[in-house]
Amino acid sequence: MMTVNEVSRLTGVSIRALHYYDQIGLLPATGHTDSGYRLYDDTALEHLQQILLFRELEFSLKDIQRILSNSAFDREKALKQQIELLKLKRQHIEDLIALAEKTQTTGGTIMDFTAFDTQKIKDYAAQAKQQWGATPEYKEFEQKTALKTEKEVSAMGGQLMEIIAAFGKMQSMDPAAPAVQAQVKKLQDFISEHYYTCSKTILGQLGQLYTAGGAFTQNINAAGGPGTAEFASKAIEVYCRTAK
């Protein structure tokens, strides 16, 4: 386990940014010291590496959060896309260097601006983002967040995580208990209002995603305590089976 200071020194990410990633649910701390300082394990560092690769490719935090929380997220596929984008950026830089060296050698101005064209990079990045969001639900989400700032969208994600984390304090109850089921309804309504129409089918899929392992499960359990993701999933399963 590494402290937030150690992670900051290792990665070059500021402590303030790490705190922000934790607050919006993008990279929750794995645990905390007795003094309350954040701690990160190897899984969290792997997750941070994914975030930084996407940031290096100029993806917004909004896009990164959407991609990494997508139930269809495939780490190997994402890495292939990232490698291809980095290669395109490398070629772009090499073209710029060649142009600058040629200009230096000739001592004049070369009327060739093709080295400045970044359209191929933009097109590939747009295609990669589209692959992770080509669903009616995502299109609805884009419409609902079109006028929101990145900070507002991130805050919305934090509110969603708070609703899910609340299941952690209900684990002594039966998943079918009225209070627990009311919390599931609250979750469904919040998603429908702020993200996309959350049918019972989609809600059920989300419940399965919560226990699929990886960063998403870890994020929920970090926010609500051990077992939160599993309990929330059970409560959602009951809701989808019994709710009218």
Q: Are residues 152 and 243 in the same domain?
A: yes
Last residue of a domain, one of 130, 165, 196: 130
Averages of pLDDT over each 10 residues, the chain, 244 residues = 91 90 85 87 88 80 76 69 78 78 69 62 64 61 75 82 93 95 95 87 85 74 90 94 76
pLDDT at 118: 65
Q: How far apart are CA 118 and CA 136, in angstroms?
A: 29
What the block records as the tokens of 215 is 């960063």
pTM of the model: 0.51
pLDDT at 206: 85
pLDDT at 188: 94
Give domain status of residue 62, yes or no.
no
Q: How far apart are CA 26 and CA 28, in angstroms?
A: 6
Q: How far apart are CA 231 and CA 244, in angstroms?
A: 21
Q: How far apart are CA 23 and CA 35, in angstroms?
A: 18
Structural domain range at position 97: 75-130
Using an 8 Å Cβ cutoff, are 66 and 138 in contact? yes
218: Cβ contacts below 8 Å, ≥ 6 apart: 28, 30, 43, 44, 47
Length of the chain: 244
Structurally, the chain folds into a number of domains equal to 3
pLDDT at 47: 86
Q: Are residues 154 and 107 in the same domain?
A: no
Last residue of a domain, one of 96, 130, 164: 130
Q: How far apart are CA 120 and CA 122, in angstroms?
A: 5
| 3-class SS letters over the chain | CEEHHHHHHHHCCCHHHHHHHHHCCCCCCCEECCCCCEEECHHHHHHHHHHHHHHHCCCCHHHHHHHHCCCCCCHHHHHHHHHHHHHHHHHHHHHHHHHHHHHHHHCCCCCCCHHHCCHHHHHHHHHHHHHCCCCHHHHHHHHHHCCCCHHHHHHHHHHHHHHHHHHHHHCCCCCCCHHHHHHHHHHHHHHHHHCCCCCHHHHHHHHHHHCCCHHHHHHHHHHHCCCHHHHHHHHHHHHHHHCC
What is the CATH number for 222? Answer: 1.10.490.50
Give domain status of residue 171, yes or no.
yes
Question: What Cα–Cα distance (Å) separates residue 79 from each residue in 46, 54, 84, 130, 213?
Answer: 12, 10, 9, 16, 19
Give domain status of residue 137, yes or no.
no
CA 29 to chain centre: 14
Q: Are residues 180 and 228 in the same domain?
A: yes
Q: Are residues 174 and 222 in the same domain?
A: yes
Give domain status of residue 83, yes or no.
yes
Place of tokens 């960063």: 215
Q: How far apart are CA 9 and CA 81, in angstroms?
A: 27
Q: Are residues 48 and 81 in the same domain?
A: no
pLDDT at 140: 73
Q: Are residues 175 and 240 in the same domain?
A: yes
pLDDT at 227: 93
Q: Are residues 242 and 178 in the same domain?
A: yes
Q: Are residues 86 and 39 in the same domain?
A: no
Give domain status of residue 136, yes or no.
no
Give domain status of residue 23, yes or no.
yes
Give domain status of residue 121, yes or no.
yes
Give domain status of residue 61, yes or no.
no
Q: Are residues 180 and 115 in the same domain?
A: no
